[in-house]
Amino acid sequence: MSAIDTLFQELRQAGKKAFIPFVTAGDPDLDFTAAALRELDARGAALCELGIPYSDPIADGPVIQASYTRALERRVRMSEIFEMAKQVSSQMSAPLVTMVSYAIIHRFGSERYVEKAQAAGIAGAIVPDLLVDEAHDLAKICAHQDFSLVQLVTPTTPRDRALRIADTSTGFIYVVSITGITGEHNQLPAELVDNVAWLREQTDLPVCIGFGISRPDQVTQLAPVADGLIVGSAIVRRIGELASKPREAVIDEIGTYAANLISALESRK
């Protein structure tokens, strides 16, 4: 079992749901990323998602794209990200999972990427551009190393394909709530709850929802059907305000924002 498997097993036994925040590695620098992760962990995040900057992000909206651009302009390197993750993961109770393009994994070498990530205390990878038809080799490597391979189901994924994705995923299934790109949305699709409820009946894997979630009322709407909720753009947007605010103030703002969403999640188990 990976650390992510253990986490969700413990959450289910306790009747709890996972709050999963996203931050971009190296935006504005890796010291800030480490501080943000520690703050989110201290505020009660169950699992933290670390975005690996990529010049051609998949389905990421303007807020996260801009954060990737800022990190890449500072020439953040994978070796530096892994070193930061190694240091911060030992200080956190929440496992780390990377959101990483398969192009990066392929260039790195699948076995080498998993080996380096595990050595850095990272428990799994969300790979948004990995087609289920091409996932077998990486899935085999990850399974052998107890490293979670999280794949995505979108609103346009046919149900037979969603079942295949569930069969090759480990850790949890990432359900994309909306058609399109990431970002904060005022309203989520009416059919989302029914679609997630159907998927949960088809698999024993935890089902977590991301894209568009930013407000407590959305958390309370989705908490009854999800095993976890992923929040990214709203956090990354606050980090983007560093140019006009002190670092300590932004860290505290991120922590307070996360705590409010966690409180809403815990109130609707």
Task: Identify the CA nearest to 93 among candidates 121, 52, 118, 120.
Answer: 121
Rounded to an integer, what distance in angstroms lies between the CA atom of residue 234 and that of residue 169?
Answer: 27
Rounded to an integer, what distance in angstroms lies between the CA atom of residue 149 and that of residue 168?
Answer: 8
> Element (H or E) spanning 209, and its range?
strand 207-210
- The two three-digit tokens of residue 219, written as one number: 């958390």
> Element (H or E) spanning 192, and its range?
helix 192-202
> Element (H or E) spanning 19, and its range?
strand 18-24
Amino acid in position 33: T
Rounded to an integer, what distance in angstroms lies between the CA atom of residue 80 and that of residue 84?
Answer: 6
Enumerate the active-site residues: 49, 60
Q: Is there a contact between 60 and 182 (Cβ–Cβ < 8 Å)?
A: yes
Ramachandran angles phi, psi of 73, nearest 5°: -65, -25
